[in-house]
A and B are shown apart, each in its own frame.
Chain A
């Protein structure tokens, strides 16, 4: 029901089309009636297969007809296997009956028979594969055809997976963005044990043919972290490979700066890589004699499952149970009587992470705070590459000052190089983006608020008011990182 243009037709044409449709509909209804009748009688035979073909070639989305074909196929396989078994039993009997003399010729005959049966079995699978191929020509996005193909191959212990990889190559030439084909490719190349290096080469070739291929960039993003792992996990892949990828993607992006595919990939490269899902990193903590509050860098499903302890030289106190304060599950509270002796040294221990606590001079509460850090440190080589890239972007902006993707990417590069010194300039890019990409102004304003808040939080511990007072930066469209502020007594706006 997609992409059908409404066209004006003459009365005559309409009549002709109508007649044609009436005939098609009659044929469809007759075939469906016959199919349902046969199915109720369990007649899963060749006629049934033929009837379903007629309809599926026109409309491969009718799931039930594929189900019926699978029933037919299973029936046929079962019958063949029965014949094979019967033959084997007969073989044993024959061997027992016959004398040594004529055994050889019988053996040969049996081998032939076995081969014939094996061929018959293969031809059942072949018919199904051919039908799905024909249906995919009609509708390359037919979920049912793709699934029937997978199902057929899974039934066949001798499936030729390599051939399927070749088929993907062919299909991706017709449509390089068909996600069904890419999904199928990942499935069959695993079955065919295609080495990931080879898949990466395939991706590179595809991207070289056409940079505007998000599907191919995506496939690439799955392969690289495994092929070139990053030990610290703070980047998506090893620094060496990352540098190469950055070079490649920028060339692609500059080829057509309005095409988004490469820019998305670029932003991923500049990001922090896979976040470890299980860790709960402490962002801020505060405890009073009657309760404790704990904020995490990112959400954690159930804090009570972790061991949270308040440790001093004299004693270790378990803090339990924890209740989430916000729906993001980043801020938690525990109501408990806590004896605090301000002269002692206290530590917070969350699942083995130990943080030294300070004393708030105002109310003698204990606290810990670390600002959200925006970027990871990088090697000299990578830094040099980022600087080169930034310069290229800034050069491009000289000629095309409104280039949206260049504005955004240069702001991201600045922050990857040095958040502090580029802070104002990166914000000015966002302000410009609010104008040139007005559809998404809400996004840029929120991002701007986020960066502003990150800076304010980073500077806060050096301010004379820390930790009692936090001065909210002006012109905030939202308040990100609010859970970091549990340490403050007062927040001024």
Chain B
């Protein structure tokens, strides 16, 4: 299964210059549309183990750009449906692979975007997620026992989108576990108790607290300071002290600061410049850093970051769920945000 069957015939785009100070809108649309079109694309083949997330990244980026109709809704939904494991209820990244929490969230996000949650067995998904919660409140990624706060986020995000958070998992215990991973030094979070703070994991935990309406548990001033210190002179954000900037970390930090009402603690202007500098002006798509190879993952977080910064021509994105806000509104979900003090 590849992306080929998802793509509607393209209607072309306007010619654009190779200027990285402007958003190369149509090149990105083309880049995502063409993703996986060549059947013998090596990268595409070797990343099938995360295909479901790949589809989520592509679908969401196109939707933010108002171009969702370039993909074929029906075949994507059919693909997602084929990936639901009949026994566990979880979703695999693609056929022939095992179900996992990560791809279960991606599948639910894609279906929610297409307003197609009624096409699958949602009770089975809930059973899958509930079954992975441990006595200490943490979550396994699958039955093989890896524990990580990423999975706590996936669990509550999946249940929120399905509107099944009440009376399924033990929310209090889940919160307790996440908070047991909060570091006293910087107010941040790692993947498990004692783990060093890391912007990606901070996004997961801040997002988790936003979905469980527990943002008051954060030390917003301490964590916000550590997060705004991620911005480097290039304008890009890194994930930990003394590391290189990266478009995806820019998203994790930016969305966390937005949820915490502290977006004004970094320079939006400089960050926008950095994200735009990571565009590939030849092929379209965004890379992790200026001058590197683009990929679909960084393309979503580039577009998503620009949307959070209020770039024109893009739909508003929800910082907690990384999905277009209109879908979150349609579902009637309200992830918590801290008011700007």
- A residues in contact (CB < 8 Å) with B: 1-6, 21-22, 24-25, 28-29, 32, 36, 59, 61-64, 66-67, 70, 143, 147, 151, 177, 179, 182-183, 186, 212, 214-215, 217-219, 221-222, 225, 236, 259-261, 264-265, 268, 273-275, 277, 299, 301, 326-330, 438-440, 442-443, 446, 450, 478-480
Cβ A478 vs Cβ B341 within 8 A: yes
Q: Which of B219-235 contact A (CB under 8 A)?
A: 219, 221, 224-226, 228-229, 231, 233, 235
Cβ A5 vs Cβ B240 within 8 A: no
Cβ B186 vs Cβ A264 within 8 A: yes
Cβ B185 vs Cβ A218 within 8 A: yes
> Given contacts A62-B49, A218-B185, A442-B265, are A183 and B190 in contact (CB under 8 A)?
yes
Residues in A whose Cβ lies below 8 Å from that of B97: 62-64
Cβ B191 vs Cβ A268 within 8 A: no
Cβ B292 vs Cβ A61 within 8 A: no
CB proximity of B191 to chain A, nearest CB, Å: 7
Q: Give Cα distance in the complex from A219 to B183, angstroms.
A: 11
Q: Which stretch in B67-75, B158-166, B332-340 binds the other chain? A: B332-340
Residues in B whose Cβ lies below 8 Å from that of A61: 49-50
Residues in A whose Cβ lies below 8 Å from that of B229: 260, 264, 440
Closest 10 CB pairs of A and B: A299-B216, A442-B264, A21-B42, A443-B265, A329-B216, A64-B97, A214-B241, A268-B185, A1-B295, A147-B146
Is there a chain A Cβ closer than 8 Å to B100's Cβ? yes
> Given contacts A63-B100, A151-B144, are A439 and B266 in contact (CB under 8 A)?
yes
Most buried by B among A36, A147, A236, A479: A147
Q: Is the interface of B mostly helix, strand, loop or mixed?
A: loop
Residues in A whose Cβ lies below 8 Å from that of B266: 439-440, 442
CB proximity of B158 to chain A, nearest CB, Å: 18
Q: Give Cα distance in the complex from A63 to B40, angstroms.
A: 23
Residues in A whose Cβ lies below 8 Å from that of B341: 446, 478-480
Most buried by B among A25, A36, A218: A218
Q: Give Cα distance in the complex from A98 to B256, angstroms.
A: 75
Cβ B267 vs Cβ A236 within 8 A: no
Cβ A6 vs Cβ B280 within 8 A: yes
CB within 8 Å: A-B pair count: 164
Is there a chain A Cβ closer than 8 Å to B12's Cβ? no
Cβ B96 vs Cβ A36 within 8 A: yes
> Given contacts A36-B96, A64-B97, are A3 and B42 in contact (CB under 8 A)?
no
Q: Give Cα distance in the complex from A299 to B216, angstroms.
A: 6
Residues in B whose Cβ lies below 8 Å from that of A3: 288-289, 292
Q: Which stretch in B17-25, B106-114, B117-125, B192-200 binds the other chain? A: B192-200
Cβ A64 vs Cβ B228 within 8 A: no
Is there a chain A Cβ closer than 8 Å to B215's Cβ? yes
Cβ A25 vs Cβ B194 within 8 A: no
Residues in A whose Cβ lies below 8 Å from that of B219: 275
Q: Give Cα distance in the complex from A260 to B214, angstroms.
A: 30
Cβ A24 vs Cβ B42 within 8 A: yes
Residues in B whose Cβ lies below 8 Å from that of A299: 216-217
Residues in A whose Cβ lies below 8 Å from that of B186: 264, 268
CB proximity of A6 to chain B, nearest CB, Å: 5
Most buried by A among B185, B219, B262, B291: B185
Cβ A214 vs Cβ B196 within 8 A: yes
Partner of B190, one of A6, A67, A179, A261: A179
Q: Give Cα distance in the complex from A1 to B231, angstroms.
A: 22
Is there a chain A Cβ closer than 8 Å to B250's Cβ? no
- Can you list 23 pairs linking A and B with CB atoms under 8 Å apart? A3-B289, A5-B291, A5-B292, A6-B280, A6-B292, A21-B42, A25-B42, A29-B45, A63-B97, A64-B49, A64-B97, A70-B144, A151-B145, A218-B197, A221-B184, A221-B185, A236-B184, A264-B241, A329-B216, A438-B267, A440-B229, A440-B267, A443-B224
Q: Give Cα distance in the complex from A372 to B46, angstroms.
A: 57
- B residues in contact (CB < 8 Å) with A: 40, 42, 45-46, 49-50, 92, 96-98, 100, 142, 144-146, 148, 179, 183-186, 190-192, 194-198, 214-217, 219, 221, 224-226, 228-229, 231, 233, 235, 240-243, 246, 262, 264-267, 270, 280, 287-289, 291-293, 295, 297-298, 336, 338-341
CB proximity of B238 to chain A, nearest CB, Å: 10
CB proximity of A263 to chain B, nearest CB, Å: 9
CB proximity of A493 to chain B, nearest CB, Å: 16
A sample of 19 more A-B contacts (CB under 8 A), given A25-B46, A64-B97, A143-B148, is A5-B291, A6-B280, A25-B42, A59-B49, A63-B97, A63-B142, A64-B98, A177-B242, A183-B196, A218-B183, A221-B183, A225-B184, A236-B184, A261-B242, A439-B231, A439-B233, A440-B265, A443-B228, A479-B341
CB proximity of B85 to chain A, nearest CB, Å: 12
Residues in A whose Cβ lies below 8 Å from that of B297: 1
Q: Give Cα distance in the complex from A274 to B180, angstroms.
A: 12
Cβ A2 vs Cβ B288 within 8 A: yes
Q: Give Cα distance in the complex from A221 to B270, angstroms.
A: 33
Partner of A179, one of B179, B195, B288, B289: B195
Residues in A whose Cβ lies below 8 Å from that of B50: 61
Q: Give Cα distance in the complex from A362 to B241, angstroms.
A: 53
Q: Give Cα distance in the complex from A342 to B264, angstroms.
A: 47
CB proximity of B147 to chain A, nearest CB, Å: 9
Cβ A179 vs Cβ B40 within 8 A: no
Cβ B196 vs Cβ A6 within 8 A: no
Cβ A182 vs Cβ B298 within 8 A: no
Q: Give Cα distance in the complex from A217 to B190, angstroms.
A: 15
Question: What is the chain A residue whose CB lies nearest that of B232?
Answer: A439
Q: Give Cα distance in the complex from A61 to B297, angstroms.
A: 16
Q: Give Cα distance in the complex from A438 to B264, angstroms.
A: 12
Question: What is the chain B residue whose CB lies nearest that of A443?
Answer: B265
Q: Give Cα distance in the complex from A264 to B223, angstroms.
A: 12
Q: Give Cα distance in the complex from A326 to B49, angstroms.
A: 45
Q: Give Cα distance in the complex from A29 to B94, angstroms.
A: 14
Residues in A whose Cβ lies below 8 Å from that of B280: 6
Q: Give Cα distance in the complex from A378 to B98, angstroms.
A: 57
Cβ A327 vs Cβ B338 within 8 A: yes
Question: What is the chain A residue whose CB lies nearest that of B98?
Answer: A64
Residues in B whose Cβ lies below 8 Å from that of A221: 183-185
Partner of B242, one of A183, A225, A259: A259
CB proximity of A98 to chain B, nearest CB, Å: 46
Cβ B215 vs Cβ A327 within 8 A: yes
Q: Give Cα distance in the complex from A442 to B288, angstroms.
A: 26
Partner of B338, one of A215, A301, A328, A450: A328
Question: What is the chain A residue whose CB lies nearest that of B193?
Answer: A186
CB proximity of A1 to chain B, nearest CB, Å: 4
CB proximity of A140 to chain B, nearest CB, Å: 15
